[in-house]
Amino acid sequence: MRACFESLKSSWKWLRPGLKVKRWLALLAFGILCLSVGASFIYVFLYRSVQVPEVVSPLAYYGTLQFLPHIARGLILEVVGLLAVGIAIFRLNRSLVSAVHSPEQGKLVDILYERSVSERGPRVVAIGGGTGLSSLLRGMKKRTNRLTAIVTMADDGGSSGRLRRDLGIPPPGDLRHCISALADDESLLAQLFEYRFGGSKGLNGHSMGNLFIAAMCEITGNFERAVAESSKVLAVRGRILPSTVDNVTLSAELAEVHDGATHVQGESAIPEAGAPIERVYLHPEDARGYAEAVRAILEADLIVIGPGSLYTSIMPNLLVNDICKAIRAAEALKIYVCNVATQPGETDGYDAGDHIAAIEKHVGPDLVDYILVNNNLDHPLPATSLSQLVQPSYDAKYKDRVFLRDLVSEENIWRHDPDKLATCLMQIYEEKLAR
């Protein structure tokens, strides 16, 4: 009985607004009605003009229910018809759905409803890189399909750096993270994309996704097309775009001398220097913004900067002049998401105000409208951790622009919870839109 009730309760979900199902159910009902009325005309004609006595053909006599009153015959036929239609549709639906949908993905009606909501969502552009941006995308893809991730091309470490040096392609690492995060079904194929080879040489350290994108570059002859085709493989919701396709290098000017120098070259070398960062800059400084990324920013309803490594994931995007100018010119609501924890070698000892000040120091004030900061400090990091929770403190001049919310993940206290973050961003957006 309980299973029957749950099935009935689930069935009613098909009537929710936005699924684009009710119109076809109504058309189906209308078609069945027309068939039924037409069949009834023929049946009534034969029934009235051809009378078969019981003695001649008992089967015809009892098969046409001639021994019952007309009203009883009609009711019996209605019940039989409803049962037949219901069972047929239910079994047909299960057969068709099982071919394209697995139970592990959840109920199909819930997936369709989620997609119908996301298709009506705002045009969101997320700017950053690394695992911070991936967390944001995992939450936002449930709220909108009109999602664009813009990522840095300054990575020069690990698998991405090796492919960049050996094959002369832009680093695919951050793009790979975004493709996996935006995958329609983050199952085996997405895990395969993130798989990293072990061993002592050869493929050691390379991720499968990076190699896949590199191979797609060779096949398509174009890095941007390679990313687009790779996205199709995982049925990605939204787009992933580079902030620039120029061969850029990120460097840092240190506040203290490190190994006899005050400048460090290379994204991966900056946090390893271990000295306070005075500023970061790109070479060449006039790197061109990727045209599609600039267009996406100008057409956005909501622009989210971060979370991510402040100096090595977020800044390399903002230092591309075309990207920064587009953000300022855009009419979208602009929100900066401050990190949950500091990053060793980059933001040691930084509070929320220090993060904001660093961005303004590099690109000027008032780039964003609001700042979103985590204020849940009830989960202290382990004593052995080199990171600390970012304190929700800031200069009084930012008071009217800061939102303090519980954004921390219960599973990984160093990072944002994707659903908490996405929910909060959408609440701020809808609140400001309503004004």
Are 32 and 85 contacting, i.e. CB atoms less than 8 angstroms apart? yes
Cα–chain-centroid distance for residue 46? 61
| Token representation of residue 255 | 């506040």
pLDDT the model gives residue 20: 65
CB 270 within 8 A of CB 277: yes
Q: How large is the average pLDDT for residues 345-353?
A: 95
Task: List Cβ neighbours of 15 (8 Å cut-off, separation of 6 or more).
Answer: 21, 22
Per-position DSSP letters for 383-404, written without gaps between them: TT-S--BPP----GGGGGGEEE
Q: How would you list the strands of the sheet with 261-265, edge to edge?
A: 261-265, 249-258, 277-283
User: Could you read off the pLDDT of 372-414 as tens digits, one per residue?
Assistant: 999 999 988 888 888 999 999 999 999 999 999 999 998 888 8
Task: For the chain, list the domains and their CATH numbers.
Answer: 13-106 (no CATH), 121-153+243-433 (3.40.50.10680)
How are beta strands 277-283 and 302-305 bridged, if at all?
Answer: unpaired
pLDDT above 90 (res 326): yes
Lowest mean pLDDT among 163-172, 244-253, 278-287: 163-172
C-beta pairs of 4-13 under 8 Å, 24+ apart in sequence: 10/107, 10/109, 13/107, 13/109, 13/110, 13/113
pLDDT tens digits for range 144-166: 989 999 999 888 878 888 888 88
Give 129-162 as a DSSP string.
Answer: -HHHHHHHHHHHTTT-S-EEEEE-S---SHHHHH
**pLDDT category of residue 430 using cuts at 50, 70 and 90:** very high
Percent of the chain with pLDDT over 70: 81
